Structure 1
């Protein structure tokens, strides 16, 4: 049977253009409603059940029927990322040119593993930009990955092979002692996952106390590392945070780097959220020491306003990634002077051979915004978070639970009596049902806080007041309804 005799999923250029325009209209209707719409809309139980019960169809549907169903059944029930007060977790609205670039990258379907192709060149360029942005020295580079969890895992895998040579081949039998990793109690949970996946085990992760501002206590770090070394353990890595997930504070990077150097440890900085803040001159003192890192995790899909997925692992010496991951199957081997051979196989720097062209959307957004544009946006986000905290301090029913270096806020409502933590947990649920904003929650020093992280180019100072008004209004209503 020839292609002309069977049903093939192809379109002539005019029909393809019409399909893209139809899809663009669906996206645009969502985009128009988004800024002032509900920050969260939960899908009805009946719809969830219907979607889960649907079997794979025996015959395909038309493209327009599919897009109509997407708009009717899926688009309305969304996490409202891009709504003016979407401040939950750490999630920024995507820059429009990033969305457009992602469409083009999907159409190209380049496998950005290696060979002489422009996708590899674009990724190497983007990684150079990111390394310079956070202050790493010339020669630093790396690769794009899915997000912060993978970025940290890849960095710690490189650390394991660098500090425990031979583990890639022999496993942890190559270790002469018990390898140990150090991070603060405020470190992201993906650090725990990384040590588990790398075979080190959670018992190999030492969680160091934080100070009153929730920064790593470097004195406690040094004492812990020294005690472990004296007990015969093998310290291999110190993980510091450049923008913690809970409060947005930056650990004392330079002091942590001193400890790493003193004990021969790999120095890793988890800057998935906040590493880019190093490019703000007024915050430079906070980031002193990041340039000494052996590796940095950074997420362009967070504070660079790039569409999902876009994380990055940066390393001082790219050879450390090759030492951990380089592998070339026979069917991929090329002669040195081959027409296909390129400058580097990026697949040798990480765990994936099949790699999407993530770099195109990162390149496009960074081109569109520029360094000074980013600085203006970051300053605006920081100002909004500071305004929320300022207004909370001034309100008699609110308390600021923690300060921030960047664009987070942590506040709580103080009811007349009862369990304050339980009250605020219920209040958080009420904010999600209300829909005027989306924030999340966390516990700090035993206090449950309403937490937001402003990484939203649509947010303004007026949204800080709406946030406070909403918390107070819903809190007072909850007090009246409580027994």
Structure 2
């Protein structure tokens, strides 16, 4: 048959396998390899550098002709699978990476098979995400008027939350008029320890990063509430328009906990939007032991957090929770004629999820969240949160007891920052040495912490958001750091 558009012969072949039986065999073999990879997470080096051979194999011309499923699977298992980030390993301590679970493989497989678009309409996937939204609303004691959205991560969740805040708190139609130079008075507040996604959000919203005021922290690295009040008063006196304050139940550098209740009081006094940057710290509120320290989180206007960190859902899966569904939808809804609502049929299911964020095309991320919460339950997830916090506290005790190590900051939750020290070494030399220790640890495959700088001190930063981590891993880490440090000093 000749295609009328191109004039070329078209056999009208689909992209389905020609031999489903062989495809099934290959798929089952790949599933086994995936599960073998997860089962052996504790037996591999934490991280393996990607060899030049693999890098070169992943650089090739555009594949104009197909290579076949078997060949692609072989390339994947040979050149990609062995060189993962390493965050499935119990001694991956860098940044804030979750470990995922074997059950997540099932959920991701089913989501791929369904290939649902969660922009809207009336189909099963929509009801799964609505269930996830309702669960999150209940977990954080938000009212029935609340709404939410499963997104890629806290960065996008923050953008959605603060866009909603801007629309609610300005005195003109910012959606239509934009941020005008004569009206560029909007300012917001976050601590000096706030995540960089806050400044990035202000940039993307057109407010400019300078509009995000940096509030000093106290000796525990928590936001100084008196300094917050002073900053707001200064801006008001200068004719600025404060509209939001961001608090954190766990800062990314040290795990410090802001006084969320006090921040909520300030926001109420000045009529400001209270946003909680809960990337991983919000999940601590699920623990009965830690929830009192998160007091005030239930008073937030919005919360952004990640399922793929301390809730162990596979990447990527974040969430934004907003107290007012009406405010949330007003900030984003834009239905054209091709998105017309219907009272029944596939175009029903209103309101659609595309009315709560910038994306019309949205994958079925909610399925792996739904699967994980149902499979393990909140109590089990909270138990692992408590375990990780105890492990971090234990690491802090080991550091304090060791003659060659010192803490760089108090251990508040699941993060311990420390460094190797040696007599007669300058701060600059110690900073370089500790960076070298971290790189040596990573390249040896023993452990993978990251680094951070607190004041002028470069520190080894150990974040524990891994359900496979044990207390014994802390002992091994301390011995490895001390051993590498002494070896370097003795050379």
TM range (shorter): over 0.9
- Counting only pairs closer than 5 Å after superposition, residues 329-478 of structure 1 correspond to structure 2 as 329-338=336-345, 340-418=347-425, 419-478=429-488
Describe the SS at the equivalent of 1:210. Answer: coil
Which deviates the most, 169-178 or 80-89? 169-178
Distance 1:239 1:175 in 2: 25
Q: Give a deviation string over 1:262-293, Cα, whole Å, max 9, x none.
A: 11111000001110111222222211111110
Q: 1:29 to 1:335 in 2, by over 3 A?
A: closer
Alpha-carbon offset, residue 67 of structure 1:
0.8
Q: 1:175 to 1:240 in 2, by over 3 A?
A: farther
What residue in structure 1 maps to residue 308 of structure 2? 301
Q: 1:426 to 1:221 in 2, by over 3 A?
A: same
Are positions 1:243 and 2:250 aligned together?
A: yes
What residue in structure 2 maps to residue 83 of structure 1? 89
| Alignment partner of 1:151 out of 139, 157, 160 | 157
TM-score, length of structure 2 as denominator length: 0.94
RMSD (Å), alpha carbons: 1.8
Judge conservation of contact 2:184–2:207 (CA < 8 Å) in 1: no
Are positions 1:94 and 2:100 aligned together?
A: yes
Judge conservation of contact 2:438–2:448 (CA < 8 Å) in 1: no
Are positions 1:44 and 2:51 aligned together?
A: yes
Describe the SS at the equivalent of 2:408. Answer: strand
- Counting only pairs closer than 5 Å after superposition, residues 28-427 of structure 1 correspond to structure 2 as 28-52=35-59, 54-164=60-170, 165-173=172-180, 176=183, 178-338=185-345, 340-418=347-425, 419-427=429-437
Judge conservation of contact 2:38–2:102 (CA < 8 Å) in 1: no
Distance 2:133 2:66 in 1: 41
Q: Give a deviation string over 1:400-457, Cα, whole Å, max 9, x none.
A: 1112332111110002332221221121111111211110010112211100111111
Alpha-carbon offset, residue 36 of structure 1:
2.5
Alpha-carbon offset, residue 47 of structure 1:
3.2
Describe the SS at the equivalent of 1:406. Answer: coil
Distance 1:339 1:92 in 2: 36
Alpha-carbon offset, residue 25 of structure 1:
2.4
Describe the SS at the equivalent of 1:281. Answer: coil
Alpha-carbon offset, residue 327 of structure 1:
1.0
Alpha-carbon offset, residue 464 of structure 1:
0.8
Which deviates the most, 149-158 or 5-14? 5-14
Judge conservation of contact 1:36–1:84 (CA < 8 Å) in 2: no
Distance 1:452 1:37 in 2: 20
Judge conservation of contact 1:134–1:277 (CA < 8 Å) in 2: no
Kindly tell me the number of residue pairs found equivalent between the two proteins: 480
Distance 1:36 1:476 in 2: 27
Alpha-carbon offset, residue 46 of structure 1:
4.4
Q: Give a deviation string over 1:4-63, Cα, whole Å, max 9, x none.
A: 9455320255344223202112213322432121111111234324423x0012311121
Which deviates the most, 415-424 or 470-479? 415-424
Judge conservation of contact 2:185–2:240 (CA < 8 Å) in 1: yes
Distance 1:88 1:20 in 2: 33
Describe the SS at the equivalent of 2:250. Answer: coil
Judge conservation of contact 1:407–1:455 (CA < 8 Å) in 2: yes
Distance 2:343 2:411 in 1: 52
Structure 1: tracts of 5 or more residues without a match:
none
Distance 2:67 2:174 in 1: 50
Alpha-carbon offset, residue 356 of structure 1:
0.3
